[in-house]
Copies of this chain bind each other. A is one copy, B any other.
Amino acid sequence: MLLALVAPAQNLQEKVRAHRLAHEQELMKEYLEFLALPNVSRDHANVRRNAEFIAGMMRRRGLAAELLEGRTRETNPAVFAEVRVPGATRTVVFYAHYDGQPVNPKQWAAGLEPFQPVFLTAPVERGGQIITSWKPGDAINPDWRISGRASADDKAGVFAILNAYDALVRSGAAPTVNVKFFFEGEEEIGSTHLGELLQLHRAKLQGDLWIICDGPRHVSGRKMVVFGVRGDVNVALTAYGARRPLHSGNYGNWAPNPALRLVTLIASMKDDNGRVLVKGFYDDYAQFSETEKLAVKEASFTDAELLRELGLKESEVPGRSLLEGFELPTLNLNGISSANVGREAANVIPTVARATLDLRQVLGTDWQRQVGRVVDHIKARGWHVIDHEPTDEERAQFAKLIKVEVGDGYNAQRTPMNLPLAQAVVAAVQSTTSEPVIKLPTAGGSLPLIIIEQELGAKVITVPAVNYDNNQHAENENVLVRSLWDSIETFAALMTMP
C-alpha cells in the first residue's frame, strides 16, 4: 500500500510543483497573514499568537497540532504535530523557529514596517521598490521579495515544511518516513528553554534525525546541506563615568570619559587583521577534517562576487575565504552606544557607554570558557567587573567600573559528513535540482542543536530554505519568493527519502 502511494522522485517533484502553482494565491495569503503577526521573542503575548496561528495552519492540513509548553507560561511554546507512516523505518523531526529578532522600525527603509509585509521588486539596498499595485489574485513574480521581520528567518522554514507536507498529501503521495513537526519560539533569544521542552516532551520528540530548516543558502543560490552550526553567546558591557553628564569643556580631559575607555577596551580585543587578541581565544577549536576542508574549498567560489555586492574592497582577513573562517570562534561588536551623535550630539562627557559583543563557538570551544577569557582580558586591563549598577562604595574604590552581563549561551554542533543518513539527505536535496548541492561542515550562524544531540541522541542536519541576501537579524529583512516555492520541493523530497 505504501509503495502504491509513492511516485518516482521526478514525478513527485512535478506533482508538488503543480500543486504549488495551482495554490500560490492561498499559500501567499496565509503567509502574509503570518508575517503580519509581531514575533519578537520577548514579546510573549504576540509570540503565542504566532504559535496559535501555526496550529491553525497545521489543522487546515489535517494535522493534530499541539502546543508544547514549558514549566511556566513565560516559556514560548513549541508547536508540534506528527504523522506516523506504516512501514516507515526512520523518524525525521522537521524543525524551524517562528520567533524573530528585535526590531527598530526607525531603521527600516521608508515605507517598510517590520510587521506589514509587502512585495518589493528587489532588496531596497539594490534599489528595490514597493509594489503598491499588487492585490490578492494578481500574479506573483518569483523574483520579487517579501519584506518583513522573520520573512526569511525563520517563518520561511515553517512555510516550507508545512506546505511540503501538504503538497505531498494533496498530490496523492505520502511520506516514507515518520514525520514530526517541531516549531520553536525562542531561538532568537538563545533557545533558553529548548532543553526544558525536550526533557518535558522527550517521548514525543524521539527521532533518528532532526532536519533544521533555518539560515540562508549559499551565495550562489544553490541548494545546500549543512552538517553543523556554531554555538553562541552575547556579552553586554556597560562602562561607567561620572554620575551625571558633564560639559566637555568644563570637565574634559579631567573627568574620565566612559565612551573613550570602552572604545579603548574593545579596540584591545582584536588586531587590524581581524585576529582576536583575548588570551587563549583560539586554544580549543577543532580544525576541519580533510573531508570538511574539501567541501569548504568546493563551496568557496563566491567571495569576490559577494564583496562586490556588499560594496567592500576586501575582507577582514584577506587570503582566507568566508567559509574557511567558519572553522574559528569569533568575537563581533554587534553595537555600541554612548550619548548622541550627528545633529543630536552635544558637547558632553557621557555618563555610561554600552556595547554588545557576540561570541560564536565552534567544535571544541566552550561558551562559558570563552566568556571567562574575555572577562579575564577586561580585568587584566584594570577594570573592576560588576554585575549591577555601581554602588557609591564601588565608585569610590575603583577607577574603571564595568558591568558585564552574559546571555544564555550554547556550544557548537557538528555531524560527520560521511554518515549514511547524511548522504541520504544530500541525495534527497540533490534530486530536486540540476545544480550540484553545496555541502558545508558548519554554518556560520548558530542554533542550539547541541541540545538536541545531547538530550535526544538524534543526528542533526540543516537544510536552509532562503536566499542569502535576506538581511536576517537586521532592518529590511526580506525573502526571495522563488526560494519559498522551491523549498517546498526540497522538503517534500526529504519527507520521501528512500
Contact = CB atoms under 8 A, between A and B. Distances in A.
Interface of A: 42, 101-102, 104, 123, 125, 215-216, 230, 232, 234, 236, 240-257, 259-260, 263-264, 266-268, 270, 272, 274, 308-317, 320, 322, 325, 328, 330-350, 353-356, 358, 360, 390, 392, 395-399, 443-446, 468-469, 471-476
A114 to B, nearest CB: 12
Contact of A348 (B316, B331, B474): B474
Given A338-B336, A345-B102, A445-B250, A471 B244 contact: yes
A336 B232 contact: no
Given A123-B244, A332-B349, A322 B251 contact: yes
A332 B248 contact: yes
A365 B471 CA distance: 47
One complex includes copies of this chain to the number of 2
A310 B398 contact: no
Given A254-B317, A311-B392, A313-B397, A247 B445 contact: yes
A107 to B, nearest CB: 8
Contacts of A236: 341-342, 345
Contact of A312 (B255, B328, B474): B255
A254 B399 contact: no
Contact of A260 (B333, B360, B398, B445): B333
Given A348-B474, A444-B247, A310 B242 contact: yes
Contacts of A274: 253, 256
Given A332-B257, A333-B260, A360 B252 contact: yes
A467 to B, nearest CB: 12
12 contacts: A242-B310, A242-B311, A242-B312, A248-B360, A248-B473, A250-B468, A251-B322, A252-B332, A253-B316, A257-B332, A337-B338, A345-B356
B330 A252 contact: yes
Contact of A263 (B244, B256, B333, B334): B333
Contacts of A272: 264
B256 A315 contact: yes
A359 B256 CA distance: 16
A371 to B, nearest CB: 15
Given A236-B342, A245-B473, A248-B360, 5 more contacts: A42-B343, A254-B322, A257-B332, A311-B396, A313-B399
Contacts of A256: 274, 312, 315-316
A250 B312 contact: no
Contacts of A468: 250
A249 to B, nearest CB: 3
**Most B CB atoms within 10 A — which of A313, A317, A360, A392?**
A313
A229 B234 CA distance: 45
A310 B472 contact: no
A260 B249 contact: no
B337 A337 contact: yes
Contact of A102 (B252, B337, B340, B474): B340
A353 B334 contact: no
Contacts of A246: 310, 474
Nearest to A343: B102
Contacts of A230: 249
B253 A232 contact: no
Contacts of A332: 248, 252-253, 257, 260, 347, 349
Contact of A336 (B263, B349, B396): B263
Given A311-B243, A341-B335, A398-B313, A346 B101 contact: yes
Contacts of A316: 253-257
Given A263-B333, A308-B396, A346 B254 contact: no
B244 A325 contact: no
A270 B256 CA distance: 12
A360 to B, nearest CB: 6
Contacts of A267: 260, 263-264, 266-268
A310 B355 CA distance: 23
Contacts of A356: 340-342, 345
A350 B253 CA distance: 30
A476 B246 CA distance: 11
Nearest to A259: B333
A474 B346 contact: yes
Contacts of A125: 243-244
Contacts of A339: 334-336
A42 B250 CA distance: 23
A163 to B, nearest CB: 25
